[in-house]
Structure 1
Amino acid sequence: MSRDVQAFAAHASDADLDDLRARLAAARLPEVETVYRPAPDPRRWDQGVPLADLIDVVEYWRTEYDWRAFEERLDGIGQFRTTIDGLGIHFLHRRSARTDATPLVMTHGWPGSVAEFVDVVDELADPTDPDVPAFHVVAPSLPGFGYSDKPASTGWGTERIAAAWVELMGRLGYGEFAAHGGDWGGNITTVLGGRFPEHVRGIHTTFAEGPPGLTTDGLTADERRWTEETYDFWHHRAAYAKQQATRPQTIGYSLVDSPVGLLAWLLDKFADWSDTEDSPFETISRDRILDDVTLYWLTRSGASAARIYYESHNSLDPELRVDVPAAISVYPGDVEKYPRPWAQERFRQIVRWGSPERGGHFPSLEVPEYFVRDLQEGLAAVLAAS
């Protein structure tokens, strides 16, 4: 097994970018949704991405969006690849100038990517306030996502990914580290804390899934509302997860062949899962969402990324317990929220519980300045306890 870590530079060919623009220009679009309403109105999204919104984004993507600027941003942070367990893993690595910095692995989810972290890495590594903790930031691309390799066989679920992250951090000289994640990254961060306490000093997560079968008895009214909202999400708005968990190859053809199909599939989630009244662009820039979507497009990873659902949907071990210190933040606009009494059944040492006033599933994109402060404060509490 190669233990080499090699520098990596992102560079799409001009031919690939020209092909993208040509496909966008030639797109075949459906008729307007039958629940049409003028903006702003959250009910406009009842059947998915409204036609008018999609047309606007497609036109911007084709004529104004600058992929090269995102490539330069990635290269400015520092990109690398290494082979772990037979699979090439891409990651961002930004070392802090501070001698007291703590290694931190940050794991994204779906429909995200390392694009979720590009606006927060610098402040986490070299904070303007000398009294807050600094971090050597490592942000890997999940297997099948972005510039990581695509698994050629089954088996790359969250447990294997967590073990790969421990190996990755060790190769970088980080025998002990903290971990952060949301969405699938939160699941993987939970596994890291539960399975590898000798390496993981503590965790920060925006996804704190309790064990199954817990009662609502004794919950506050707000906590009961959280459980009802989470139930509603999984029973009425999660068809995407069932599709990707059962037939990722089928939807994958559309995601890899049609940039408009890929955009709509991902944009729908940025809209539904953000803490906004109507459009996700109320809080997230078009450029940052298109950085994410274009990364999926250029790496042809729509199908391979969807397979994480096939590998790991509902796979978090019911018996797994996390005994290392944990900081948990539940953003009000997120789609899956677990009450603290439920979370405490799995996370045995919660040292900080955050309840932000705003923000949804993508806090590093929606409320980046708050997200950084919350992560700094949460991990400060974790490190103090560890």
Structure 2
Amino acid sequence: MSDASPRPEPFTPHTDPAVLEDLRTRLRATRWPDAPEDAGWSLGTDIAYLRELIAYWADGFDWPAQEAALARLPRFRVPLGGLGIHFVHARAVAPTGPVLPLILSHGWPDSFWRYTKVVPLLTDPGAHGADPADAFDVVVPDMPGFGYSDRPAGPLLDTIAVAGLWAELMSVLGYERFGAAGGDMGSHVSRYLALEHPERVVAVHRTDAGLPVFTGDPAELTPEERAWFESVAVWGRAEGAYGAMQSTKPQTAAVGLTDSPAGLAAWIVEKLRSWSDCDGDIERAFTKDEILTNVTLYWLTGTIGSSMRVYNANAAIPAEQRTRRVEVPSGFSIFRGDVVRPPRAWLDRTTNAVRVTEPPRGGHFAPFEEPELYAEEVRAFFRPFRAAATAAAAASG
């Protein structure tokens, strides 16, 4: 790293108690909507469950304890592209073979929070019953406008631009060859890293393939692919209202969600429930403390509006970018409880898919829902690429 390179600085936030007292005051003053009897989750967030959650947030949730737990991860901020970027950088512990750098990209509605459980499993596999030779150096950045990264004040950044920032971040950290992995919006970031920097990304692992975009002759699609397209359309009509709002008018929703912690929780909790492998019971996938840690990160950083604007930026990505085939070796772990699960034919059409598995548990937030299972999927996928990547890095160095 040259003297002119950006220098990461250690980062440990501490929340002013007055900010937490303001939050509790707002929670206790929530103006509740009515709801039809027995509506449950059928019309969106279950108001009865939300009341229970908000009461706990106001008078039971211990944010300082959660903040201290997050502080046990080695966290930094660095200036990139005119923005301060927050990231976790955890190095391999007691490796017995070549160490592969790995950048993990999160999605919405989350942040580095998505990967907090898997960082120790990937950096120190030997301490968790796995092979120490599978250790990674792990980098988990917050996308601009998410978590503790800066909120862009100028032009909106799409996932292509974020991939460019992550390539720069890995250079700043001294990693010229690395693996990339992600889910949700982070799946797109990882894909564009592989497309724009194929000489640097040794392999890419994803937990989904996103919503399908196809500009060819529909007759070319397999029956399996056509059925999947139809199921995605059905899902979009039932579940896609949030995406339409965030892609077109994110600022309208941002006003209420930034002002009302109860509204913010409703917006996020409904997605945590419907996208996770919980069979309708959100607390089978997340405890109240886990849910509220994610939501409180959004509240304290004021990033719900900026996070939603990425949808608007991504909506402008042209089809020719969305349909480029990824030639970098790609792996997919399509977890049982995830949404819009793609068929193998689509993965082969759009990527150089060298490994596709279907883990029996876990949903859209698999690294948090099933961290051990997710970590094993990542270790197994990258194992064949580890030595080649580190040898190439040594030769180029």
Common fold: TM-score over 0.5: yes
Pairwise mapping of residues 199-278 of structure 1 onto structure 2 (< 5 A)? 199-209=200-210, 211-213=213-215, 215=218, 217-220=221-224, 226-278=228-280
TM-score, structure 1 normalization: 0.92
Of the three residues 76, 79, 85, the one matched with 1:80 is: 76
Matched residues in 2 for 1:187 and 1:311: separation? 13
Aligned counterpart, 2:315: 313
Of the three residues 54, 57, 62, the one matched with 1:58 is: 54
Matched residues in 2 for 1:195 and 1:320: separation? 11
Aligned length, in residue pairs: 376
Change (3 A) 1:142 1:352: same
TM-score, structure 2 normalization: 0.90
Aligned-partner SS, 2:113: helix
Of the three residues 373, 378, 391, the one matched with 1:370 is: 373
Aligned-partner SS, 1:147: coil
Deviation of the 1:132 alpha carbon: 5.1
Any conservation in 2 of the 1:157–1:312 contact (CA below 8 Å)?
A: yes
Percent identical residues: 38
Any conservation in 1 of the 2:156–2:310 contact (CA below 8 Å)?
A: no
Any conservation in 2 of the 1:187–1:207 contact (CA below 8 Å)?
A: no
Aligned counterpart, 2:116: 118
Matched residues in 1 for 2:322 and 2:299: separation? 35
Aligned counterpart, 2:26: 23
Any conservation in 2 of the 1:2–1:83 contact (CA below 8 Å)?
A: no
Of the three residues 20, 31, 36, the one matched with 2:38 is: 36
Any conservation in 2 of the 1:351–1:385 contact (CA below 8 Å)?
A: no
Change (3 A) 1:287 1:65: same
204-213 or 68-77, larger mean C-alpha shift: 204-213
Any conservation in 2 of the 1:105–1:139 contact (CA below 8 Å)?
A: yes
Matched residues in 2 for 1:326 and 1:311: separation? 25
Any conservation in 2 of the 1:65–1:287 contact (CA below 8 Å)?
A: yes
315-324 or 13-22, larger mean C-alpha shift: 315-324
Any conservation in 2 of the 1:181–1:205 contact (CA below 8 Å)?
A: yes
Question: Which consecutive unaligned segments of at least 5 residues does structure 1 have?
Answer: 38-43
Matched residues in 2 for 1:305 and 1:161: separation? 13
Deviation of the 1:280 alpha carbon: 1.5
Q: Which has the higher helix share?
A: 2
Change (3 A) 1:330 1:345: same
Any conservation in 1 of the 2:124–2:132 contact (CA below 8 Å)?
A: no
Any conservation in 2 of the 1:104–1:135 contact (CA below 8 Å)?
A: yes
Question: Which consecutive unaligned segments of at least 5 residues does structure 2 have?
Answer: 390-397
Deviation of the 1:196 alpha carbon: 0.4
Aligned counterpart, 1:48: 44
Aligned-partner SS, 1:104: strand
Change (3 A) 1:56 1:94: same
Of the three residues 345, 348, 362, the one matched with 2:349 is: 345
Aligned counterpart, 1:40: none
Any conservation in 2 of the 1:211–1:342 contact (CA below 8 Å)?
A: no
